[in-house]
């Protein structure tokens, strides 16, 4: 029995927990012992994870040979085919989630930060300028002509906001977009997995602190979430690889269109596009040939038999051509503006901040550094490889913390981390239950967002950067909760037979 992979996973857990413990001790110091707090509990949990990870690395083959068959049987039960879970409680949860979101927003909207020196002020300023210039139609002409030079706030949300560039009206607009995203996503998940999973997903979104706060501000996240909700529901309709293409190719066109709308809303949506490209190409690669022999599980499958889940390169490239082609058609105004004004189709002012150690006004950096290539060379010349590795590793530890905290409900603050930790096993259960292509795309997105914003940590850190992941994350958690309940309910029946 191959025990290399579980030992590597144990080591990775020990390293991640050790980094988190180091960061907690560095920030809190002796306060961890002097006064009991949530940080003390977190440090104790990290210490326990370190010990268990090290023990897993050093455990004998006898231990793993006893444990692995049990895990394999458990995983087979989770991944076994199952039917949609439709129950009256699911419909009740769907209705209740809408009421809860409405009540929370009524209380939250008056307490939102004022638009003073923040992104809300920037969006409102840009929206007023667009309104005074003649509205969205004129903005479209300015983009193609290279006359609209704003390179931070992307134009789609600005164009919509220009119809009512007022702080109070803007907050209500964001709240309505958030409600629309919740409705679309919860009912879409209910149609896919059953109303119980849809209800659990909707309720988690309705009480989520990050969701409620950002969909109550005059920022683009609410519109982005609505677009990502539609994107994920389209992704769920993509057929399992290795089967005949029964779906029409407009699914790939739809994915490209929605990715373009997401990028016209926020620059970080390029990570979503990159994830889709990696996702589709990953099905054309024979990963078994790439793995060393020690990582391959024992199998009696003939090497000459076709691999299940493989795509031909022709199929993969054709679907990607549809995605990229439709993306370029819809994103053309901003692509043309960026190429004409800044010399790069995907230019964003914040790209310069990737090569700084602290926040500096992006437009000042453009004047100081010149091209983005100059900024990259300057950073490379002034930083050692060890400094770069430390920046990324430290950032990854913080991204895991931010991600888990973002799963927590309103009105908790740092205590939301422990809700995230409690939901983590159900997220893993949902990922094991879902066997379709969407699972792989989610994991690719997760890695890309964590890596990118781990590097961005010295500039800014926050839940808003990971918001596109929130929707599929809660869908998988809802699926995991329903699946766990189903298995627990079936357990007594099996033992009684």
- pLDDT tens for 268-277 read 899 999 999 9
310 pLDDT above the threshold of 60:
yes
pLDDT band of residue 362 (cuts 50, 70, 90) is confident
453 Cβ contact list (under 8 Å, min separation 6): 395, 399, 461, 465, 466
pLDDT tens by residue, 416-460? 888 988 999 999 999 988 888 899 999 999 999 999 998 888 888
47 pLDDT above the threshold of 70:
yes
pLDDT of residue 378: 83
pLDDT of residue 393: 85
CA distances 184 to 94, 190, 224, 350, 371, Å, are: 11, 10, 13, 31, 41
- In this prediction, residues 218-232 reach a mean pLDDT of 94
* Strongest mean pLDDT among 1-5, 88-92, 222-226, 308-312: 222-226
pLDDT of residue 246: 47
- In this prediction, residues 308-315 reach a mean pLDDT of 71
CA distances 404 to 132, 189, 422, 438, 470, Å, are: 43, 22, 9, 21, 10
- In this prediction, residues 80-105 reach a mean pLDDT of 84
Q: Which residue did the predictor score with more confidence, 299 or 345?
A: 345
- In this prediction, residues 383-387 reach a mean pLDDT of 87
pTM for this model (two decimals): 0.88
- Residue 112, sorted as left (phi over 0), alpha (psi -120 to 50) or beta, turns out to be beta
pLDDT of residue 449: 94
pLDDT of residue 272: 95
- In this prediction, residues 57-77 reach a mean pLDDT of 79
The tokens describing 133, both together, are 């210039």
pLDDT of residue 270: 93
The span from the CA of 317 to the CA of 329, in Å, is: 18
379 pLDDT above the threshold of 90:
no
pLDDT of residue 241: 60
308 pLDDT above the threshold of 60:
no
Q: Which residue did the predictor score with more confidence, 480 or 486?
A: 480
pLDDT of residue 23: 76
Q: Which residue did the predictor score with more confidence, 392 or 496?
A: 392
Q: Are 410 and 215 in contact (CB under 8 A)?
A: no
Lowest mean pLDDT among 56-65, 175-184, 461-470: 56-65
301 pLDDT above the threshold of 70:
no
| Mean pLDDT over each residue of the chain, to the nearest integer | 84
The span from the CA of 388 to the CA of 182, in Å, is: 39
86 pLDDT above the threshold of 80:
no
243 pLDDT above the threshold of 60:
no
pLDDT band of residue 304 (cuts 50, 70, 90) is very low
The tokens describing 404, both together, are 């888990």
26 Cβ contact list (under 8 Å, min separation 6): none
pLDDT of residue 398: 86
Lowest mean pLDDT among 57-71, 291-305, 362-376: 291-305
Q: Which residue did the predictor score with more confidence, 95 or 491?
A: 95
pLDDT of residue 294: 55
Helix H or strand E segment including 160: helix 155-161
* Strongest mean pLDDT among 13-22, 191-200, 303-312: 191-200
Q: Which residue did the predictor score with more confidence, 347 or 246?
A: 347
353 pLDDT above the threshold of 90:
no
pLDDT band of residue 287 (cuts 50, 70, 90) is low
- In this prediction, residues 186-202 reach a mean pLDDT of 92
* Strongest mean pLDDT among 60-69, 106-115, 310-319, 320-329: 320-329
The span from the CA of 138 to the CA of 148, in Å, is: 10
Packing angle, helices 136-145 and 119-133, rounded to 10:
90
The span from the CA of 181 to the CA of 175, in Å, is: 10
**Is 125 exposed, middle or buried (CB count within 10 Å of its CB: 0-12, 13-18, 19+)?**
middle
Q: Which residue did the predictor score with more confidence, 127 or 316?
A: 127
pLDDT of residue 293: 60
The tokens describing 1, both together, are 């029995």
pLDDT of residue 331: 94
């Amino acid at each position: 029995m191959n025990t290399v992979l579980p030992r590597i996973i144990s080591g990775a857990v020990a390293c991640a927990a050790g980094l988190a413990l180091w960061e907690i001790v560095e920030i809190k110091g002796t306060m961890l012992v002097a006064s009991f707090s949530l940080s003390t509990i977190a440090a104790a949990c990290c210490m326990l994870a370190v010990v268990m990870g090290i023990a897993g690395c050093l455990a004998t083959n006898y231990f793993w040979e006893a444990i692995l068959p049990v895990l394999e049987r458990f995983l087979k039960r989770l991944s076994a085919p199952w039917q949609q879970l439709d129950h009256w409680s699911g419909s009740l949860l769907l209705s209740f989630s809408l009421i809860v979101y409405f009540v929370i927003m009524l209380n939250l909207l008056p307490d939102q930060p004022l638009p003073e020196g923040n992104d809300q002020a920037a969006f409102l300023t840009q929206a007023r300028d667009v309104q005074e210039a003649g509205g969205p139609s004129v903005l479209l002409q300015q983009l193609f002509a290279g006359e609209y030079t704003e390179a931070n706030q992307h134009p789609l949300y600005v164009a919509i906001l220009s119809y009512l560039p007022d702080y109070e009206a803007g907050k209500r607009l964001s709240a309505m977009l958030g409600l629309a995203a919740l409705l679309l996503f919860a009912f879409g998940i209910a149609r896919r997995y059953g109303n119980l999973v849809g209800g659990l997903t909707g309720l988690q979104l309705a009480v989520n602190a990050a969701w409620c706060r950002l969909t109550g501000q005059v920022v683009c996240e609410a519109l982005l979430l609505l677009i990502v909700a539609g994107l994920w529901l389209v992704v769920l309709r993509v057929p399992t690889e290795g089967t005949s293409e029964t779906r029409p190719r407009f699914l790939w066109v739809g994915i490209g269109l929605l990715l373009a709308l997401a990028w016209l809303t926020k620059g970080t949506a390029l990570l979503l596009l990159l994830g889709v490209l990696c996702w589709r190409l990953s099905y054309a690669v024979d990963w078994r040939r790439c793995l060393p022999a020690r990582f391959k599980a024992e199998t009696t499958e003939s090497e000459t038999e076709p691999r299940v889940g493989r795509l031909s390169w022709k199929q993969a490239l054709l679907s990607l051509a549809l995605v990229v082609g439709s993306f370029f058609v819809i994103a053309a105004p901003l692509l043309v503006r960026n190429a004409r004004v800044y010399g790069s189709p995907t230019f964003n002012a914040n790209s310069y901040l990737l090569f700084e150690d602290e926040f500096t006004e992006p437009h000042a950096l453009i004047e100081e550094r010149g091209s983005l290539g100059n900024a990259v060379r300057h950073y490379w010349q002034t930083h050692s490889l060890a400094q770069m590795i430390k920046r990324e590793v430290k950032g990854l530890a913080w991204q895991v913390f931010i991600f888990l905290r973002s799963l927590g409900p309103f009105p908790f603050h740092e205590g939301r981390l422990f809700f995230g930790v409690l939901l983590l096993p159900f997220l893993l259960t949902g990922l094991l239950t879902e066997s379709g292509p969407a699972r792989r795309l989610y994991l690719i997105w997760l890695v890309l967002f964590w890596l990118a914003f781990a590097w961005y940590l010295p500039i800014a850190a926050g839940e808003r950067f990971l918001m596109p992941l929130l929707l599929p994350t809660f869908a998988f958690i809802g699926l995991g909760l329903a699946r766990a309940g189903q298995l627990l309910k079936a357990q007594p029946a099996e033992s009684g037979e």
